[in-house]
Copies of this chain bind each other. A is one copy, B any other.
Amino acid sequence: MRRSDASRRAILLAAFELVGEVGYAKLTIEGIAARAGVGKQTIYRWWPSKGAVLFDAFLALSEDPQGDPALPDTGDLEADLKLVLRATVAELSDPRYDAPMRALTAAMLNDPALAAEYEQRLDAPMRALKRARLRSAQEAGQLPSEADLDLAVDLLWSPLMRRWLERAELTPAFADAVVETALAGLRAR
């Protein structure tokens, strides 16, 4: 790993940890630099703002940087979605992610510009990957060609988000039940 890669990873991890500890309002470039052991000019060389650092941190740390970002496609939509939603349940239940994600979500509720940046940099690309997997299922005859894929994404992922937001019970069995019921509904129409 080159030295700049190591600094970059240290900065992203520091931003991710700090926002969970102090909240978005009190997150500063100075604080991130101190935690990461770099000068703040190093951060400003790569990112224009604390929001930009934080979104890159969420991107880098919530997915395998070497891995293919596409959703699994074994040809069995139900099995693939259960795998993905169970992984989402595991991530939402991981205490390392919980505080940073709550801090970012709270900040976006009060800050439409931050919410728009999140939508553009994180949410839209993730929705595109989900839609791509569902479109592949349509081509394979596993979902009706007229199914509304945006509705499908919401039916599959929103119940997990609701339970996480309200700190309700969130289990792999719940993920399975959501997949089975949502797919049955999409196929029955």
Residues of A within 8 A of B (CB): 23, 102-103, 105-107, 109-110, 112, 115, 119, 123, 148, 151, 154-155, 157-159, 161-163, 165-167, 174, 177-178, 180-189
Which of B107, B155, B161 sits near A182, CB closer than 8 Å?
B155
In angstroms, Cα B178 to Cα A33, docked, is 46
Chain B contacts for A23, CB-based, 8 A: 110
Most chain-B Cβ atoms within 10 A of its Cβ — which of A161, A174, A181, A187?
A: A181
Which of B110, B119, B157, B174 sits near A102, CB closer than 8 Å?
B110
Tell me how many chains of this kind the complex includes: 2
In the assembled complex, how far is the CB of residue A5 from the closest CB belonging to chain B, in whole angstroms? 32
Chain B contacts for A148, CB-based, 8 A: 177
Closest 3 A/B residue pairs (Cβ): A185-B185, A158-B158, A154-B159
In angstroms, Cα B110 to Cα A167, docked, is 12
**Smallest Cβ-Cβ distance to A147: which chain B residue:** B181
In angstroms, Cα B108 to Cα A102, docked, is 10
In angstroms, Cα B161 to Cα A185, docked, is 20
Which of B119, B151, B177, B183 sits near A178, CB closer than 8 Å?
B151
Chain B contacts for A110, CB-based, 8 A: 23, 102-103, 106
Q: A106-B110, A181-B186 are in contact. Are A158 and B151 (CB under 8 A)?
A: no
In the assembled complex, how far is the CB of residue A79 from the closest CB belonging to chain B, in whole angstroms? 17
In angstroms, Cα B110 to Cα A182, docked, is 31
Chain B contacts for A166, CB-based, 8 A: 115, 119, 123
In angstroms, Cα B182 to Cα A162, docked, is 16
